[in-house]
Amino acid sequence: MSKRFIVDSKNIKKVDNNISIFGDEAHHINVLRYRVKDKVYINEYEVEITEMDKEYVSGVIVGSLEEKGVPNTNITLVQAYLKSDKMEHVTQKAVELGAKEILPVMSKNCVVKLDEKDKTKKVDRLNKIAKEAVEQCGRTDEVEVLDVENLLKVDYSKFDAVLICHEASTNSLKEAINNIKNFNSIAVIVGPEGGLDEKEVEELLRNKNAYVVSLGERVLRAETASFSILSILWYELG
């Protein structure tokens, strides 16, 4: 399969079956040494390159992208904000492991403190990482990193189920998954380096279809917990 490049609408000019792109992805195609007559995927189009230089790439649309790597269930990873390198790593791997959205949240035990300006910059950076991960792993959908929210102010009513990963829980994850296998949208909550506060867990459990679950007897690092739960859901839900 040809490599896929995700290009913002502002950097695309399309007339009939002819398409031109500008900006970072045009530069990326040049860096990867594509040439005229090579084929690439640009968003949902298969494109044969007809002209290119450092500033733009032009081509003709010869087909469309077949769906690939799109999960059966829409999973939103509600991730308490981690130190920057860990948060970026979680974002990248969450895309590869099938998350549809990533919602960074601030909770009581978050080590990182962000002001509004920081939040905007961090989310922009995380969205760039998510886009690169989508391209790398060959997914044909897109994954969005949402604006940072407070853990307890998220509208969880829009989800069919909410899984709360908590190291103090003894509740079976397998049993919870059996109860939600036919659900379309699931939020998965993973705490920060210091874990979720007990009062936060109590408040979260007031939501309809909320389950607090254990990931096993071993206490996992926050990023490991995210990888673990997403991998399990990928296996169980497809």
Q: Residue 224 sits in a domain of what CATH number?
A: 3.40.1280.10
Q: Last residue of a domain, which of 42, 64, 86?
A: 64
The pLDDT value recorded for residue 1 is: 56
Number of domains in the chain: 2
- 108 and 165 assigned to the same domain: yes
Mean pLDDT of 216-223: 90
Q: Last residue of a domain, which of 64, 85, 105?
A: 64
Q: Residue 54 sits in a domain of what CATH number?
A: 2.40.240.20
CA distance 202 to 205: 5
pLDDT tens track for 18-76: 999 999 889 989 988 999 999 998 888 889 999 998 889 999 999 888 877 788 899 99
65-98 core/surface letters (b: 16 or more CB in 10 A; e: else): eeeeeebebbbbbbbbbbeeebbbebbbbbbbbb
Residue 69 lies in a domain: no
- 107 and 219 assigned to the same domain: yes
This prediction has a pTM of 0.83
Q: How confident is the model at residue 222 (pLDDT cuts 50, 70, 90)?
A: very high
Domain that holds residue 92: 74-237
